[in-house]
Chains A and B, each alone.
Chain A
Amino acid sequence: MTELLKANIWADVKFYRRSKLLLAFMLVFLLLTALQSLPPLFMDSGVQSFNSLQQIVADLNFFLLILAGGMGLLIISSHLRSRSLKMVFTKPCPPELWLLSAYVSAAVMSLLLNLVVLGSGVLLSVLWHLPVRMGLVFVSAETFAVSLGLIAYLMLLGTVIHPALAAIVAVIFNADLFYQFDVWTKAAMRSGNSSIALRMVERLFHGLYILLPMVYPFDKQTQNIHTSLRVMSGEWKYLLFSLGYTLALSAFCYCVSLFALKRKNHI
């Protein structure tokens, strides 16, 4: 089993390395980040340098989340669309193992990229004579935890629907959108409109908001850490909570993806 897992992870890592789409996305974002880090080189103010550092770290972590989701989506959809899984499943390698390998390989890539971003944050702090704050570690660890859930969610979407639709669902029709709709419908009901249709729509939006996975489940509690890059001793627990949420989400998405993968005809 370990041999099979290793063989699949090895092949998946080759896939990520050679995916031109991921490479192009990475290059464009790194170029933008590099351009963003130029102005502070000509500034003397520590505050401005810190603001730039905080912005760069936030952008890079946002980029990592998109990349992690992209990796999860691409690894599934490209194999399904190229119909190459028939070469895997006609060997003693069950879908459970292949799916797990795909998840683990995306998680490993995400971890490596997170470490690179963390290293870049530390390096920029040193270069700009700023204290290296623990918030950098917290933000990186939280981004990694969140990216695990995103990988699993996008893998699930990639298994059941077309990748373009999956991307649209993930980017547009997510929990944030339905939260906004839920707030608007509640506001409309408070202003006197209490028709049955509106109440039903409000229930629907609320249900979708609850059902769909959240990117940052504890964003209210950790917002200060992201802006100040400081962590209070009592705030580390949110990292564990995030990890717990994301692992539970991953397990759920894995089971549904596996069910869908097994139901598909791989011809």
Chain B
Amino acid sequence: MIVAEDVHVNFRTKLFGPMVRALNGLTLEVREGDFFALVGRNGAGKSTAMYCFLGLLRPTSGKVQIMGQLPELGSRLYKNVAYLPEEPHYHLYLTVEEATRYYTSLYGKHVSNKTINESLERLGLAEFKTLPLAKCSKGMKQKVGIAQCLIHQPKVLFLDEPTRGLDPLIVREFRETLQEIHQRGATIVMNSHVLSEVEMLANRVAIIDRGTVVVQDELQNLLTLDQELYRVVFEANGTVPDYLNAVEHTGNLVRAFLPKARLGDFLELVRTSGLLLQECSLKKASLEESFFNLVKGEATLTENENGNREVSVS
């Protein structure tokens, strides 16, 4: 559906300034029906990648395709595409209602007043519809962006930090709306710093660092990064096996991590030496931990001899 092959983007910030390498061989694939999240630290190249997908930025080299076509500004391809920018670069001289009407009318289809009003009502903008965008808060502008994105029920959505500046009530409703749209079959590409949000919504994730994709996989696979460890809590009677990691002592209570491979040995020890085991659970990993491990280079994704992917944490 969306393919980027070895995309490089270099540009100068000033006329004679140094060359900035925004994307450095970015390669990724978004499949139809994916809820795809691009995550990475500031300046990693997430927004630049999105600009390339949308045709707003021409790659220095490499190829980008959406639905088998090169993204060209304003082409028919965009009939089924919606974009929510990170920064509110809107037509600030228009009012909330006018901007929503204008952006939706650019799809060349008639949108009734009722639909626009309902959309504004749903996002809590009805009472501000005559307010110029220039006088709106960042959150309100973001809501206008969301309204113009969703009215046409697009097949592909590009969302750049979509919940930035929104109040918690709207964030929740917006997430539910996105899930609804995704369930209807839309493909969604989202940039986000909020990793808990990505965990809630996305089914596939690409972690980008320094303009290149560090890892691109199903969210579930990324969440198993640390699942090779068990967390154990036990009362020690003098014996603490040397294969335990990150051992913490609180009185005679021991908290530690147990490698999966040594689970049998440990349980045998518990049985024979009479350790009082209070807890033994598979360590629940979060995307945040996986992200840190991958970006800091403490984890790698490799393929084993069966062709399956394995994550190893150093």
Contacts and interface: CB of A to CB of B under 8 A. Distances in A.
Q: Do the two shown chains form a genuine complex with each other? A: yes
Interface of A: 1, 3-4, 7-8, 10-11, 14-15, 18-19, 79, 82-84, 86-98, 262, 265-267
B102 A7 contact: yes
Interface stretch (B81-89, B115-123, B167-175, B245-253): B81-89
Contact of A18 (B54, B89, B93, B103): B93
B90 A90 contact: no
Interface in B54-103: 54-58, 72-79, 81, 83, 85, 87, 89-94, 98, 102-103
Given A84-B90, A90-B83, A92-B107, A266 B74 contact: no
A83 B83 CA distance: 14
A92 B132 CA distance: 25
Given A86-B56, A92-B74, A265-B56, 17 more contacts: A7-B105, A14-B98, A83-B89, A84-B89, A84-B92, A86-B54, A87-B148, A88-B106, A89-B73, A90-B81, A92-B76, A92-B106, A98-B74, A265-B58, A266-B57, A266-B73, A267-B51
B157 to A, nearest CB: 11
A89 B108 contact: no
A3 B110 CA distance: 9
A265 B79 contact: no
Contact of B106 (A7, A95, A96): A7
A93 B56 contact: no
In the A-B complex, the 4 residue pairs with the smallest Cβ-Cβ separation, listed nearest first, are A94-B74, A91-B106, A89-B73, A7-B105
Given A94-B73, A262-B73, A19 B56 contact: no
A235 to B, nearest CB: 42
Contact of B74 (A7, A89, A265): A89
Nearest to A98: B74
Contacts of A8: 106
Nearest to A4: B108
Nearest to B109: A3
A126 to B, nearest CB: 38
A266 B106 contact: no
Contacts of B79: 92
A82 B92 contact: yes
B57 A265 contact: yes
Contacts of A262: 73
10 contacts: A4-B105, A7-B102, A8-B106, A11-B91, A87-B83, A87-B85, A88-B74, A88-B106, A90-B74, A265-B56
A87 B74 contact: no
B75 A92 contact: yes
A84 B83 CA distance: 13
B10 to A, nearest CB: 12
B236 to A, nearest CB: 59
Contacts of A89: 55-56, 73-74
Nearest to B73: A89
Residue of A11, A86, A91 ringed by the most chain B CB atoms within 10 A? A91
Given A84-B90, A84-B91, A11 B55 contact: no
Contacts of A82: 89, 91-92
Contacts of B94: 11, 14
Residue of B48, B74, B89 ringed by the most chain A CB atoms within 10 A? B74
B106 A4 contact: yes
A267 B102 CA distance: 20
B74 A11 contact: no
A87 B89 contact: yes
Contacts of A98: 74
A1 B107 CA distance: 10
A90 B89 contact: no
A86 B85 contact: yes
A88 B73 CA distance: 9
Nearest to A263: B58
A97 B73 CA distance: 11
Contacts of A265: 11, 51, 56-58
B17 to A, nearest CB: 15
Nearest to B83: A90
Residue of B56, B57, B158 ringed by the most chain A CB atoms within 10 A? B56
Contact of A87 (B11, B77, B103, B158): B103
B58 to A, nearest CB: 7
A79 B57 CA distance: 17
Contacts of B77: 92
Contacts of B110: 3
Contacts of B90: 84, 87
Nearest to A2: B108
A19 B93 contact: yes
A7 B74 CA distance: 15
Nearest to A90: B83
